[in-house]
Chains A and B, each alone.
Chain A
Amino acid sequence: MKQTFVFSGSGGQGIMSAGITLAQTAIAMGRHATYLPEYGPEQRGGSAKCTVVISDDPIVSPLPRRCDILITMNELSYRKFEEDLKPDGVLLANSCLVKSAEPRDDITLISAAVDDIALEVGNPKTANVILLGILIGATDVVRLDVFEESLKVKFGAKSPEVLAMNLDALSKGYALGQQYK
């Protein structure tokens, strides 16, 4: 099976890091993945987009036109990339910043107040981990336990508190995502 993800938002929302972590987790599970970042010329605050392809077979083209799952963290990216979502695709929108999302009748819309949940968790920077939790809960793209391992590798050495916060963010997102399964 091959799935294409587009993560989009503005610089600083953890878009790129979410894409990389998802791809790395897929590889850790023995699947194949490519990650393509696309930046605007701005160093800060510009648009951020990355495309992740995950497949059981080696990936031939890393440049898909459309995606199976679109993650939009803000209004601008929603408007820009909404038409790239395939029919029967999944739109995951951060409802704190994406206000105009109306469900196309041929897709599944997951609208979640990701930024608010991140504040509950204790740090706005955990928004992207919540996002990935939702994604994993809703789609089974990667296994939760393998993803937890990648978080442990990423944060475990730095600080146990940061790791705990991220694991909390992940489980909150995961629980939310499962409702859409």
Chain B
Amino acid sequence: MAEYKRSTMIADSPSGYCPGCLHSLATRLISDVIDELGQGDNSLNVISVGCSALNLLYWSGDYLGVAHGRAPASATGIKRTNPERLVFTYQGDGDLAAIGLAEIMSAANRGENFTVIFANNQTYGMTGGQMAPTTLIGQKTTTTIYGRDPATTGYPMKMCEILSTLEAPAYIARFALNNPKGVRDARAGIKKAFEAQLAGKGFTFVELLTNCPTNWHMTPLQTLDYMNTNTIPYFKPGVYRDRTSEEAGA
């Protein structure tokens, strides 16, 4: 039976994430996989802007804080000059799917050999719960107080599906963190992405469906149910691209 212990990648200090927030779990999964792969010293976390930036306070490995939406660009500069490093970005939905859309599409299209972990909680958490590009139709936010209306705000963007239109990416997958199987699959997916990167297979993308009890105005348990009823039917978990077993550069 596996021993449950603190990951070496996370500092021994209280988390600043809200109670019940799945960012904590996502961070934990990433750090566990890094430990398992023995990549602690070699890893480099490119920390974006939003609640994801709280990792600046806890992450024990090398990290670079970057500008809002530009993590895939900065990671490109890192990985091109230091290809031996395990480089990953951790980005929220506003960061990746709104302000950083050009950067994520272009880095994926170039097949940059790093990993993007995309935390999709359908809202701007740190700024107080505004509408995100992934906010569901009808979902209430501080800038869609009657619920998101597609007539004026369009539809939630499915990043896995959008990125799957590109030739270059080696691995694209989406997992939901609101249930034990989803958590296990997510851990395996992150590991697969990191291993593929270390083998030089190219761009890897892992979307994690997360929650925001504070801004969804729900208890943590209610958010997990909401995800089952609303989020998962729209953002379908699954592996959208897997060329990790192919020869590098194929």
Q: Do chains A and B touch in the complex (CB under 8 A)?
A: no
Q: Residues of B with Cβ closer than 8 Å to A?
A: none
Q: Residues of A with Cβ closer than 8 Å to B?
A: none
